[in-house]
Amino acid sequence: MNNEIKPSHIHILCCPDSHYCPCTGVMLTSLLENNRRHHMEIWIATTDNDPDNRRRFLTLEADYDCRIHIIHVMQEEIDSLPDAKGEWPKEMYLRLVLIKTLPVYVPKIIYFDGDIIVNTDIYPLWEHPMDGNAAVAVPDINHFIFDNYQRLNISSPYFNSGVMVIDIDRCRQLDLTDRCLQILSATTLEYPDQDALNMVLDGHVAYAPLQWNLVTGFLLTNNLPMIPPDIRNLAARLASGRRKAIIHYTGEYKPWLNGTFMFHPLHAVWRRYYRISPWRDLPIFKTLPCPMLKSIAIMRIKMLHALGINTPYSRHWSVTSGRYSRWRSLFR
């Protein structure tokens, strides 16, 4: 792969519901901040009808070299989609629908979840060889800790679908949308759209390195024995800031969640981009019920963590103290 960074025209897709619009805006701010050399054409499919969110999304066009397309999806269209398991919203299926309806001049697109920070130039990901495959993705932490081959009857590594380069024509040839929706209508899956995508795209995915989708599980010490040493070492370099990465705040460790001891070790990176995003004046943080003494204890641990000083919190994460020096300035 040619590592030279060249100006490029890159298509981006994100599909937030009304709750995730501000978080998606922070993600897009990080993407545009780190990719000023490229023209971004951003497609936002959402059921959100809030004119304030629309205004904030469109301000990105004035600040960066990008074009924003906001596709409003009617609630009736969402209601017609298969029911999701548990807490998963039906809006997660929107990208499946968009694959069928994007204009013909969009040959491929990068899909991003909203709980992400793009802290790197994405041109190498955009140009990653597809070798005739329908998508480029990164193996998920669950590939290493669960038997997804048997669970889903697949033969390829299980990937995380929060970051994907999607070849639109190839996916249409595979009838990806209808096949995924058929599976979701007939089967209850642990990770509904991600599992269905792994099933339909089995054998049709090119795999990219971990820096293109660093999910939280690679940083938890409980998972270390099951992760190959080379990937474990790469995850440590990415989390320390010695290499740029796309940080994916998966699971319960959301950087906008206050009042918990289990905050993500790179929560300050997300907050840096929040402070420069069009949503910076909006209090989008969610605070769990928390007594004052606990709040003080959490603040103390975060300060020690930012200084690279070990605490009981450090035992949960594979990145040791002293590796966060590059992130300390993010607390200013």
Pairing of strands 159-167, 135-139: antiparallel
What 3-state class would DSSP assign to 323?
coil
Give the Cβ contact number of residue 305 at 10 Å. 23
* Tens place of pLDDT per residue across the chain (332 aa): 445 555 579 999 999 988 899 999 999 999 999 999 999 999 999 988 899 999 999 999 999 989 999 999 887 787 777 776 667 777 788 999 999 999 999 999 999 999 999 999 999 999 999 999 999 999 999 999 999 999 999 999 999 999 999 999 999 999 999 999 999 988 888 899 999 999 999 999 999 999 999 999 999 989 999 999 999 999 989 988 878 999 999 988 898 877 565 678 898 899 999 999 999 998 776 655 666 766 666 666 666 666 666 766 667 777 654 444 444 444 43
Q: Which residue has the tokens 């019920």?
A: 289
pLDDT of residue 295: 63
pTM above 0.85, yes or no: yes
Which residues contact residue 150 at a Cβ distance below 8 angstroms, ignoring those fewer than 6 apart?
none
The H or E element containing residue 117 is strand 116-118
Q: How far apart are CA 200 and CA 176, in angstroms?
A: 7
Domain spans of the chain, in order of start: 7-332
Alpha helices in 102-240 (DSSP H): 123-126, 142-145, 148-152, 168-173, 176-186, 192-200, 229-240
CATH no. of 7-332: 3.90.550.10
Structure tokens at 209: 């390195």
pLDDT of residue 178: 94
What 3-state class would DSSP assign to 139?
strand
What 3-state class would DSSP assign to 288?
coil
CB 82 within 8 A of CB 184: yes
pLDDT of residue 267: 86
Structure tokens at 112: 């991003």
Structure tokens at 291: 């007594």
